[in-house]
Amino acid sequence: MSSEPSEGPKGADAASLPEKDPHYGSETHKDSDTDVAKEERGVDVVAGLIAGHGEDSEIDLQEALKLRRKLDRHMLPLLFILYTLQFIDKNSLGSSAILGIIPDNKLTNNQFNNLGTAFYIGYIIFVGPHAWLMQRFPIAKYIAVNIGLWSIFLGLQAACHNYGGLFALRVLLGASEGCITSGIMTILTMFYTRVESTQRISWTFMCNGIASILAGFISFGVAHTNAKAHPRQWQWYMMIISILSVIVSVLYFWKMPDNPATARFLSEQEKIDVVKRIRVNQNGIEAKVWKRYQFIEALTDPKTWLFALFAAIANLQGGLGIVFGLIIKDFGFNTLETTLLGMPVGAAM
């Protein structure tokens, strides 16, 4: 949420700090220790980093390009891996459908379709709490923990033998994935200009196609195991994706920075240059205080509702991914052939 820049701590660049809540610093509370503490929490987390550099000259264009390339080298691979894996996780039910999850759990057609809906029930319910919690905890670490949680919920599905257990775990899977898109977008705006972050988000969505291809290869490999043996083919698939999710969770916890000040791959000067480079965004980096007036501003902004409408329409086809494999198999193809025929869709994406 954008806001007009205001003066921050002495020496800090005003354009890089968020607006203070108008209720802070009032005459009636100026001497209150509680209000002082609140105001300190409301200051941008990078204020100390840029203190004394507010009047520095703008970063050289060539240096800015060099810094952007360095950010890309360290951050984009993590983004691409995460979005690829998230899409595979989200569509794991569709892949498992052609590997035997329906008969093994005695699912009816309606129950199977409900499992697809269950994911988005958890997703929608927890989007708000995730936004609140990401402001209060280190955001990259929070995302890493949720990746770890979804790996657990995904792996536990391999132990299910009925509709109720699968439904509960699908809800929890959606709940844990509800922070990914908003969290990654928030991190990107701390390091890139608005145009650059928009470009990079669009690049990450291209990973959905790569995910479809990789999921096809994994399914194809799993389909070579004995369909009657234990674990079943669909259980092998769930466990493999769960293990991959655990690895990505560790990578994010260790490698993804919470903000420029915690980016270990940047020197102190480069951290300062990152903040100077995104002054054009005219918003802060990260503040730990929830501001009611910004919340109201977002709710009354027509663009917010246009984005909501776009997301709703774009996700109408989400159910197709769950039944796509079953549709292909109904044309008379066997399991091995069906796993391969899903790959051209990913290439087209």
Q: Give the amino acid at 291.
A: K
Q: What is the pLDDT of residue 321?
A: 74
Q: Which of 50-64, 146-160, 178-192 has the least mean pLDDT?
A: 50-64
Q: Which of 54-68, 85-99, 137-151 has the least mean pLDDT?
A: 54-68
Calculate the CA 302 to chain-centre distance.
24
CB 173 within 8 A of CB 154: yes
End-to-end CA gap in the chain: 31
Q: 268 — phi, psi (to 5°)? A: -60, -40
DSSP code string of 217-282: HHHHHHTTS-TTSSS-HHHHHHHHHHHHHHHHHHHHHHH--SSGGG-TTS-HHHHHHHHHHTGGG-
Q: What is the pLDDT of residue 286?
A: 57
- Average pLDDT, integer, range 319-338: 86
For the chain, what percentages of helix, strand and coil (3-state, to nearest 5) are there? 70, 0, 30
CA atoms within 13 A on the CB side of 205: 10
Q: Does residue 159 or residue 7 have the better pLDDT? A: 159
Q: Answer yes or no: is pLDDT of 126 > 80.
A: yes
Percent over 70 (pLDDT), the chain? 79
Q: pLDDT-based confidence at 322, cuts 50/70/90?
A: confident
Q: Is the peptide bond before 5 cis (omega within 30 degrees of 0)?
A: no
Calculate the CA 128 to chain-centre distance.
14
How far is residue 83's CA from residue 89's CA, in Å, rounded to a whole number?
10
Q: What is the pLDDT of residue 257?
A: 93
Q: What is the pLDDT of residue 12?
A: 42
Q: What is the pLDDT of residue 25?
A: 47
**pLDDT tens figures, 241-251:** 999 999 999 99
- Average pLDDT, integer, range 244-269: 92
Write out the E strands in the chain: none
- Best-predicted range by mean pLDDT (48-52, 122-126, 268-272, 309-313): 122-126
Q: What is the pLDDT of residue 319?
A: 67
Q: What is the pLDDT of residue 279?
A: 77
Q: Answer yes or no: is pLDDT of 110 > 50.
A: yes
Q: Answer yes or no: is pLDDT of 63 > 80.
A: yes
Q: What is the pLDDT of residue 343?
A: 87
Q: What is the pLDDT of residue 52?
A: 53
